[in-house]
Amino acid sequence: MTELKNKTYGIVGLGIMGGSIAKAIRENVLDQPETGGRIFACDISKPSLDMAQSSGIIDKGFLPENADEMLGRCSIVFICLYPHATVDFIKSHKNAFSKGTLVTDISGVKTVIVEGLASLHCPGVDFIIGHPMAGGEKEGYVNSNGAYFTGRNYIIMPRPENKPENIEMMKNLITEMGFTRIVETDYRNHDHKIAFTSQLCHVIASALVKSAEDEHITEFGGGSYEDLTRIAMINAPLWTELFLADKKELLGHIENFEKQINTIKEYIQSDDSEDLNRYLEEVRLKRMKMSRIDTVIKD
């Protein structure tokens, strides 16, 4: 971890994700005797900053009006804001980053980031697009947890202008934070895949909760409903932005899902036990293959 020694990390947005990143870096990187370094954070919530500083997670907190002061002292910056806010922040503070800074984001949709920053000239700053595939269903720093990242996936989208040594340093940092699989892709493929594995799942969970006959339905639950709807305790403004920012990809996945629902519905309506059984067997085998692939990669 020599390339991570004595780095100053900046976290912009100390909510559940920014707080979890700060905690993972503190616990798994900075608290190691051979590493050292500091963590700064910028957020609109002074109570969150005070809580993080008093517990030793960050070394100093900055309110938005002092963001430039923080950025000028950081070597690695995580921007943990909504997609459009990420673009706006980088544009507004492009001259505040110190030369050689590695800047990354955690946004769930990337096309809006790439297109929003396409014409931005920010000399000396290496912006590496990233997405940690982890987190919790609740909001705020108080619900952050560095352990969220243990054994999870991290997606990075290297670009030709990124320095190879910074990509390598980013991978090493991600690994030290607890992630066990790093996936490299381009931003368009990211948005297509994430619309399925993340956004569609939140759509389904939301629709399932909305379709419940009453709020006492969980009295009859055995775990299935609870597992399927955990993520429906949703951050409405964030997911509204994500759904609409990735509208084209998400709608395509919703339409394909509707076709599968209708297929199952038709088998049940017609008492077609043979085709229904075949369909469910195919689903079982497909999911088992996914599990085996997961196990091989993680091992």
Tokens matching residue 6: 């004595």
| Cβ neighbours of 50 (radius 10 Å) | 12
Q: Tell me the C-alpha distance between 177 and 146, whole Å.
A: 8
CATH architecture of 190-298: Orthogonal Bundle (1.10)
pLDDT value, residue 277? 98
Residue type for 125, please?
Answer: V
Per-residue pLDDT 10s for the chain (299 aa) are 567 888 999 999 999 999 999 999 999 999 877 778 999 999 999 999 999 999 999 999 999 999 999 999 999 999 999 999 999 999 999 999 999 999 999 999 999 999 999 888 887 899 999 999 988 777 899 999 999 999 999 999 999 999 999 999 999 999 999 999 999 999 999 999 999 999 999 999 999 999 999 999 999 989 999 999 999 998 999 999 999 999 999 999 999 999 999 999 999 999 999 999 999 999 999 999 987 766 544 54
2-185 and 190-298, same CATH topology: no
Residue from 26, 76, 86, 80 nearest 56 by CA = 26
State in words which class domain 2-185 has: alpha beta
Contact 89, 116 (CB under 8 A): no
- The domains of the chain are located at 2-185, 190-298
Residue from 27, 23, 22, 25 nearest 11 by CA = 22
Tokens matching residue 94: 């492009």
pLDDT value, residue 291? 79
Contacts of residue 137, defined as CB under 8 A and 6 or more positions apart, other chains included, come to: 230, 231, 233, 234
pLDDT value, residue 298? 53
Q: Tell me the C-alpha distance between 182 and 132, whole Å.
A: 9
pLDDT value, residue 6? 84
Beta bridge partners of 105: 79
Contact 192, 164 (CB under 8 A): no
Can you give the pTM of this predicted structure? 0.90
pLDDT value, residue 136? 75
Q: Tell me the C-alpha distance between 130 and 156, whole Å.
A: 4
